[in-house]
Structure 1
Amino acid sequence: MFSRVAGLCLALLLTACASTPVVAPEPRGDEPPLVMLVSIDGFRADYLDRGITPHLSRLAGEGATGPMRPSFPSVTFPNHYTLVTGLHPDHHGIVGNNMIDAELGRFSLGNKQAVTDRRWWDQGEPIWVSAEKAGVKTATMFWPGSEADIRGVRPTYWTTFDQGMPGDARVDRVLQWMDLPADQRPQLTTLYFDIVDTQGHHYGPDAPETAEAIRSVDASIGRLVEGLKARGLYERTVLVIVSDHGMAATSPERVTWIDDVIDPAAIQIVYSGAVTFLNPVAGREAEVEAALLGSRPHLDCWRKSEIPARFVLGSNPRVSAIVCASEPGWTFTTKARPVTKPGGAHGYDNFSADMAAIFIAHGPGVVQGRRLTDLDSVDVQPFLARLLGIDAPRGDGLAEDTLAVTTR
């Protein structure tokens, strides 16, 4: 842990933000920076190397950047909540895009009632709740959890998720918040893009459709930058651009069939694919464990209490009795739900290169040209808290006293 902490501190060393000159409509030397947390869902770290992201690449070149390890399972809701709480899924409670709670029932990302129920989210405190408690206004342009009154607190401004809303329209909504009077403008804003993940699933990480989605989001980032410049806010804005996970290519030829391993009637599948959560049907526990537990080609299955420690998963009651991890690029599914065409998936081992996410920090005080190594997604929340100058609950990431050297 020490080398990772020390490395990040050196890489993200910031000057005193309170004294950084800014250009703003209401210039005040003691104004804190505006902080924008931008997520590009499914943006694999090496997408930056493809020569199709001029805006993101410029921000990375002028700021601090590096690949970032997501939490396990490397799926959307758990990792977005990790980014804003500093906790691994086992500790913040959102252990999957689908999960079962003995009291609350079943959660899925498409279940509006569950998504807006704070009880699913209250095991962790997202950065916007910490900020609002500290009197800092926040705004969320889509982010998992932001539609619930977590711990009784909502962002000052928030928007119900609408996947059909174009990227530029999302940027324009953020810029509208920036047009508010200084005392009403949010100091912390989140912005979320999902199209790269969507196309990556449908076509795979190397498909031209995915490349076009990458270009589209990059153009929206350019629109955001130009909008901030036009408002005189760019020089006082810290952009923190992340993704939740990467993407691996899948194929109908790389499938392990659940039916060939165990009778599907003997198990309750919470979700399956790259990572699989399942529970034995009552009375068939011994049969299911005998069939599943252990290693076989392209698949490992464990009791929740025996998941390898590096995954930091297994103590939360929402984790199913058995968890299976497929080899990157492979799928574990039933013949009733076959893989019919090449595409992409995530959820795999979070140490896999294909699952690596991006991290870019750019703005006042960020040392230019820093290249980060061994960065973990649990490190983002304490970094945001330091930028905002607020206290936030201690998470699983870098300790507050160590991060103190990175900001004012």
Structure 2
Amino acid sequence: MPPLVLIDCVGLTPAHLGSDTPNLSRLASEGFAAPMTGVVPAVTTTAQTSLLTGKLPQEHGIVANGWYFRELGEVWLWRQSQKLVQAPSCWEIARRSKPELKVLKHFWWYAMNTDVTATVTPRPVYFQNGAKAPDFYAWPPDLKTTLRAKHGEFPLFQFWGPTAAFPSTKWIADAFATAYSEVKPDLAMCYLPHLDYDLQRFGPTGPHLAQNLRELDAAAGIVINAAKTRGATVVVVSEYGIEKVDRAVFINRALRAAGLLAVTTNATGELLDPGASRAFAVCDHQLAHVYCHDEASLAEAAAIIAEIEGVERVYAGRERAELGLDHARSGEIVALCASGAWFAYDYWLDDALKPDFAQCVEIHKKPGYDPRELFFDPNGGKFRAGMALLKKKLGFRYLMNPVPLDTSLVKGSHGRPAARPEDGPVLICSDKAWAKERWSMLDVCPQVVKSLIG
């Protein structure tokens, strides 16, 4: 059987295919393209895990990009261990018949503590003095040496934050071509995040879209060409489409005002106190997991959330099964935004008491996803960043806090099911044998296994 290369073009939809995507359109003409039904929440780690396992979050356990770890009493987002996935992935299933199967995981999530043959993933250096520097993890170690020698350092600060831009996606694509040549895998996965940036900043349509599509397509072309050198079947998927939004929903502020959410205060400001809270929300784009202390807290929180403007529906207890989110890691309540809205994690009621990380790019300390990290604060954000860089160069400790608090800057989000098939995920394949009118994310894993073992 030919090798298989699975390319994740984040944010790509059927509606995007056209004159601005010549490489992807050519692949579709050689094979086919079809809309794909996604999962809820329509976010990176949940979608990727459903693609690779063929299961809903109720079985694989990745209920969002992060959740409340009850045993620790802490909220953690963007963990990297494959052991968090509670269902077998496609390569694990294929190896039951073909144990020698070689797998390359390139920037897909859960890329550490994993059983793949080779893996590459962003891994910043956090120095003891508070500084952060670009770096990446690779296994085997020689692969990291090879990639760095050929492609230089991974441009971490173009991967996420106010300066996130095409250089990170270009580096990923170029490095994939090298890793693919070195590892010669039977199954390779490559993640291209470029559309995730400007489409959240400026919305899913507008003058920025054509250039973004052309840049993504160029990166996809690099990966496709690398795949074709070994005669691989090429499959392009996406996790979600991005929809226009114009308002934020402050679910945690409502819970705090009702006396359900507790905070603790220290020199850094107000901090969420999950263990002392009767109810609090972990916000992830357009979905929120609400963790409740007991049945009485659940009932009270559900009633409050249902009345918040911008909340479409509240799923409590067994109702979560309707979304495939009845899992122990889920909140006792799952809240879904209305179209045009997204959940902000903010829990403080006075900006003077905000935590010191609120205006930083700090994906590990914030108890929820924050798309404002894609922006410089119009009120001095670039100046603050410049001063922080100067302090860094002089060897002083510094606070890099260029991010705004203004939620109105955010113009695109995701997490809800797509309103129309053409605005949701897509599947493109070079092999016409995969063709059908519409795909489900849950069908990708069994088809990959079939292609790998024959």
Q: Could you state the TM-score of these two structures normalised by the residue count of structure 1?
A: 0.73
Residue 238 in structure 1 maps to residue 238 in structure 2: no
Matches within 5 A, 1:146-295: 146-149=111-114, 154-161=115-122, 163=156, 164=159, 166-180=168-182, 185-228=184-227, 231=229, 233=230, 236-252=231-247, 255-258=248-251, 259=253, 263=257, 265-266=259-260, 267-271=279-283, 273-281=285-293, 284-293=297-306
Q: 1:92 aligns with which of 41, 60, 67?
A: 60
Which residue in the other structure is 1:79 paired with?
Answer: 47
Residue 302 in structure 1 maps to residue 315 in structure 2: yes
Q: Secondary structure at the match of 1:115?
A: coil
Residue 52 in structure 1 maps to residue 16 in structure 2: no
Distance 1:331 1:59, change over 3 A: same
Q: Is the 8 A contact 1:68 1:376 kept in 2?
A: yes
Letter in 2 for 1:270: V
Which residue in the other structure is 1:127 paired with?
Answer: 90
Which residue in the other structure is 2:378 paired with?
Answer: none
Distance in 2 (alpha carbons) for counterparts of 1:101 and 1:197? 27
Distance in 2 (alpha carbons) for counterparts of 1:296 and 1:219? 41
Distance in 2 (alpha carbons) for counterparts of 1:175 and 1:101? 37
Residue 319 in structure 1 maps to residue 324 in structure 2: no
Distance in 1 (alpha carbons) for counterparts of 2:442 and 2:33? 16
Letter in 1 for 2:426: I
Comparing 347-356 with 199-208, which one deviates more in the overlay?
347-356
Distance 1:107 1:355, change over 3 A: farther
Deviations 1:286-331 (A, max 9, x none): 422332348976521120311362x2222x1111011111122222
Q: Is the 8 A contact 1:268 1:281 kept in 2?
A: no
Q: Secondary structure at the match of 2:11?
A: coil
Q: Secondary structure at the match of 1:192?
A: strand
Residue 63 in structure 1 maps to residue 31 in structure 2: yes
Q: Secondary structure at the match of 1:57?
A: helix
Letter in 1 for 2:93: S
Residue 356 in structure 1 maps to residue 424 in structure 2: yes
Q: Is the 8 A contact 1:77 1:109 kept in 2?
A: no
Q: Is the 8 A contact 2:51 2:445 kept in 1?
A: yes
Letter in 2 for 1:130: I
Letter in 2 for 1:126: S
Matches within 5 A, 1:17-56: 32-49=1-18, 51-56=19-24
Distance in 1 (alpha carbons) for counterparts of 2:90 and 2:258? 41
Task: State the number of aligned residues.
Answer: 334
Q: Secondary structure at the match of 1:66?
A: strand
Deviations 1:120-153 (A, max 9, x none): 22x112223334562101111111112222xxxx
| RMSD across aligned positions (CA) | 2.8
Q: Is the 8 A contact 1:262 1:288 kept in 2?
A: no
Distance in 1 (alpha carbons) for counterparts of 2:84 and 2:57? 12
Distance 1:350 1:124, change over 3 A: farther
Residue 136 in structure 1 maps to residue 101 in structure 2: yes
Q: Secondary structure at the match of 1:301?
A: strand
The structure, 1 or 2, with the larger RCO (C-alpha pairs under 8 Å, 6+ apart) is 1
Q: Structure 1 residue 272: deviation in Å?
A: 5.0
Distance in 2 (alpha carbons) for counterparts of 1:248 and 1:264? 31
Q: Could you state the TM-score of these two structures normalised by the residue count of structure 2?
A: 0.66
- In structure 2, list runs of 5 or more residues that go unmatched: 123-135, 137-155, 160-166, 261-278, 349-404
Distance in 1 (alpha carbons) for counterparts of 2:332 and 2:411? 29
Q: Is the 8 A contact 1:247 1:354 kept in 2?
A: no
Distance in 1 (alpha carbons) for counterparts of 2:211 and 2:258? 39
- In structure 1, list runs of 5 or more residues that go unmatched: 1-31, 390-407
Letter in 1 for 2:199: G
Distance in 2 (alpha carbons) for counterparts of 1:105 and 1:155? 31
Distance in 2 (alpha carbons) for counterparts of 1:204 and 1:155? 36
Q: Is the 8 A contact 1:76 1:244 kept in 2?
A: yes
Q: Structure 1 residue 215: deviation in Å?
A: 1.3
Distance in 2 (alpha carbons) for counterparts of 1:260 and 1:102? 22
Deviations 1:356-405 (A, max 9, x none): 10101104xx349x5x333110110011001101xxxxxxxxxxxxxxxx
Residue 345 in structure 1 maps to residue 313 in structure 2: no
Distance in 2 (alpha carbons) for counterparts of 1:85 and 1:351? 25
Q: Secondary structure at the match of 2:409?
A: coil
Distance in 2 (alpha carbons) for counterparts of 1:340 and 1:355? 23
Q: Is the 8 A contact 1:78 1:96 kept in 2?
A: yes
Q: 1:102 aligns with which of 70, 75, 96?
A: 70
Q: Structure 1 residue 60: deviation in Å?
A: 0.9
Which residue in the other structure is 1:388 paired with?
Answer: 452
